[in-house]
Amino acid sequence: MRILIGCEQVIRELSSYLERELSPEWRVLIEEHLRSCRKCVAVYDGVRNLLLLVTENTEIIPLPCGFGERIYRLLHRSSKANW
């Protein structure tokens, strides 16, 4: 039996996926979903780019206090509205 996961689950787990904090089984499920869902690929690209910006360029671009929390709220609100 093949297990499928939906967009909401994928979006909820993207940062854990990118930080390699998920089990191999969850990684496979997310990768399968990303192969067939353009919307989630777009969100994945955005989250990946944001994590790169935040983690690798903090000396170049100082981030305002509360930035991460605001991004999380925006992503959470967007995922509920669009999926």
- Cα-trace Rg, the chain: 14
Question: Is the whole model's pTM more than 0.75, yes or no?
Answer: no
| pLDDT tens track for 7-60 | 999 998 988 898 899 999 999 999 999 999 999 999 999 888 887 777 765 565
For residue 57, what pLDDT is reported?
57
Contact 30, 1 (CB under 8 A): no
